[in-house]
Structure 1
Amino acid sequence: MSKIIRIGTRDSELALWQAHTVQHKLEELGYDTTLIPIKSTGDQVLDKPLYELGITGIFTKTLDVAMLKGQIDIAVHSMKDVPTQLPKGIVQVAVLERAITNDILVHKGADFLEAEEPSTIATGSLRRKAQWLHKYPHHQVVDLRGNVNTRLLKLIENDWSGAIFAQAGLQRIKLLPKDALILDWMVPAPAQGAMVVVAQQSDDFSKEALHKLNHSDSEIATGIEREFLRTLEGGCTAPIGALAQIKDQKVYFEGVLFSLDGKEKIGVEKNIPLSKAKGFGQACAKEVLEKGGDKLMEALRNENSAIH
């Protein structure tokens, strides 16, 4: 049986770039496809921080509903936006080869980093905010929401010193400024820089097509990071960073958990043979919890419920 694979995507420039990438790869393999852009709640509600909306899958929920209603066959996501628990009936099928994982600072002149005066940095991410305040406690961090293009425009319009973005996102749509600073000290979000494609569990045709796009090392590395996140029980409501890298048949992992103000940091750095990678993310998370991460996560949950 042959069919046209309907590819669901958010309608932002970056999301469309990602969906077109998957479309080209499938068409190169001989499959017929069509793109179906859908506006997500996360793109529509721009006046509240992500964690206040109370949904970890805010950018994926609309596509999940469209898939379960039979309006689309597959959906392409930035993997870091996808909840670690997928809805019943939807499965992860392909992780594409991962792009660069770094966060970057887009700025209006970097001299302020050496100054003792307070500066203002913008980001909608608790993880980026906590790590920035850990390094620059005298700075102020303000909330920044919207798609990449909207956030860049807001940076121009406001008197902020800079804003933090994922390097991969800006590179993909050719908006990376030449003078952007790579924040190599900032631990990225779990699965940052990776694209994932999901399908209905019952859709064997689409799953067979997508399996051909899967990049094994990227799947393993992001799986470890998301297992770390899931074990800590953190969605958008906790400042958690994780990065697994595979080199020479070994997995090198760094994971961090911060307090919202950046003052507390609990981290883990380990490596393990690739052949023993199963359960590695969970083991690293348990180490963080035993170092006091359990108390910190409880405090974060209490702070979050106070916001709601």
Structure 2
Amino acid sequence: MKSSIRIGTRGSKLALWQAQHVADRLAAAGLTPEIVIITTTGDVVLDRSLDKIGAKGVFTEELEQGLRTGHVDIAVHSAKDVQSSIPADLELLAFLEREQVNDVIVSFDPALDLQRPDLVLGTSSTRRKAMLKRFLPHAVTAEARGNLQTRLRKLEEGQYHGLVLAYAGVHRMEYDSLIRFVLPETQYVPATGQGSIAIECARSLEPDLKAKLRRILDHEATHVCLVAERAFLRTMEGGCSIPSFALATLAPGGTVRLHGGLISLDGQHWLDEQQTAPLAAAETLGVRVAEAVLARGGQQILDDIRQQRQLS
């Protein structure tokens, strides 16, 4: 079994932080990691919103090609960026322990008032835009593509009053001092996988090596939760371009609870479902919650969204 591990990653500071975090874990276990930077479509196409460029695999496709060719052994992703269905020749090997899951609002203004009538908040997330229309209907949302540093530069230039971001990225990049509001996860329910780092590999990777990497990197509780969330997302046939949300947490008695749902683009229609199941049934739980949301009107919301996008 080889000890040298080539780690594929995007080149942003946050992506490199995540890759280095993985590399440090591997090095501590006696392996020799090497970080390989790969540029993805999402890093290049910055003049269109995610829903306009399809979003499926926009941050992962080139990394996955590197896995297929053997250019890299593993790929490191923000788990929320991983598309709902993984190609048959690849697999998600591990999920690192999850960071705090919340969305946050960051600003250079320490006295930022969310009730100001001319409030402009930057975000590239379809889910966040829809939730802001529901919970802060007076706010204007403005597109905010690019890496975290690019978005913060735009914020400093005055293009927005605040940015809506995942706490995990803000914290990992040590911008905690800019956090003005931590949005409650019971209301602003996060995207599938938010706060965790996903490790992907080719199914053909040496079995003993896969087992060792899983032992070093995988966090069991996080893995169970993300199995439920990703089964929900897959059943919804959604991705970054669909305003769905899902958060699984471990519950008493060896169970997992999943809160999943869907919101219309204008924020007017909100459907959610909460159910609990044994840990071993996490995947079934995700499917069941998604099917309940779809049956209660979620399918109509998805159909309406797709029709609107065809017309736009």
- Both structures adopt the same fold (TM-score exceeding 0.5): yes
Match of 2:212 in 1: 209
Match of 1:142 in 2: 142
C-alpha separation in 1, matches of 2:300 and 2:192: 21
C-alpha separation in 2, matches of 1:99 and 1:55: 24
Following superposition, the deviation at residue 63 of structure 1 comes to 0.7
- What amino acid sits opposite 1:112 in the alignment? D
Following superposition, the deviation at residue 133 of structure 1 comes to 0.7
Match of 1:122 in 2: 122
Instruction: Indicate yes or no: 2:194 matched with 1:192.
Output: yes
Trace 1:1-308 onto structure 2 (pairs within 5 A).
1-107=1-107, 108-115=109-116, 117-184=117-184, 185-204=187-206, 205-212=208-215, 213-248=217-252, 249-307=254-312
Please identify, of 65-74 and 98-107, the stretch whose mean Cα deviation from structure 2 is larger.
65-74
C-alpha separation in 1, matches of 2:51 and 2:241: 5
Closer, same or farther: CA 178–119 of 1 in aligned 2, 3 Å: closer
Following superposition, the deviation at residue 275 of structure 1 comes to 4.5
C-alpha separation in 2, matches of 1:262 and 1:109: 28
When the two chains are superposed, the root-mean-square deviation of aligned CA atoms in Å is: 1.6
Please identify, of 162-171 and 136-145, the stretch whose mean Cα deviation from structure 2 is larger.
136-145
Q: What SS is found at the alignment partner of 1:23?
A: helix
C-alpha separation in 2, matches of 1:178 and 1:109: 8
Q: Does the 8 Å CA contact 1:188/1:243 hold for their aligned counterparts?
A: yes
Identity fraction in percent:
37
Following superposition, the deviation at residue 208 of structure 1 comes to 2.5
- What amino acid sits opposite 1:193 in the alignment? G
C-alpha separation in 2, matches of 1:302 and 1:201: 36
Q: Give per-residue Cα distances to partners, 1:170-206, cap 9 Å, x unaligned.
A: 1112122254210113100000001111111111154
Q: Give per-residue Cα distances to partners, 1:221-246, cap 9 Å, x unaligned.
A: 01111111111111122101110001
C-alpha separation in 1, matches of 2:35 and 2:72: 9
Question: Normalized against structure 2, the TM-score is what?
Answer: 0.93
Q: What SS is found at the alignment partner of 2:177?
A: coil
Question: Normalized against structure 1, the TM-score is what?
Answer: 0.94
5+ residue gaps, structure 1, are: none
- What amino acid sits opposite 2:195 in the alignment? G
Q: Give per-residue Cα distances to partners, 1:63-101, cap 9 Å, x unaligned.
A: 111221221111100011011212232111111111111
C-alpha separation in 1, matches of 2:202 and 2:227: 19
Q: Give per-residue Cα distances to partners, 1:148-180, cap 9 Å, x unaligned.
A: 111111111124221100000111121222542
Following superposition, the deviation at residue 111 of structure 1 comes to 4.9
C-alpha separation in 2, matches of 1:292 and 1:237: 19
Q: What SS is found at the alignment partner of 1:266?
A: strand
Q: What SS is found at the alignment partner of 2:137?
A: coil
Q: What SS is found at the alignment partner of 2:165?
A: strand
Following superposition, the deviation at residue 247 of structure 1 comes to 3.1
Q: What SS is found at the alignment partner of 1:85?
A: coil
C-alpha separation in 1, matches of 2:71 and 2:209: 14
Please identify, of 13-22 and 269-278, the stretch whose mean Cα deviation from structure 2 is larger.
269-278
Q: What SS is found at the alignment partner of 1:218?
A: helix
Q: What SS is found at the alignment partner of 2:273?
A: strand
Q: What SS is found at the alignment partner of 2:193?
A: coil
- What amino acid sits opposite 1:222 in the alignment? L
Q: What SS is found at the alignment partner of 2:262?
A: strand
5+ residue gaps, structure 2, are: none
C-alpha separation in 1, matches of 2:225 and 2:196: 10
Q: What SS is found at the alignment partner of 1:177?
A: helix
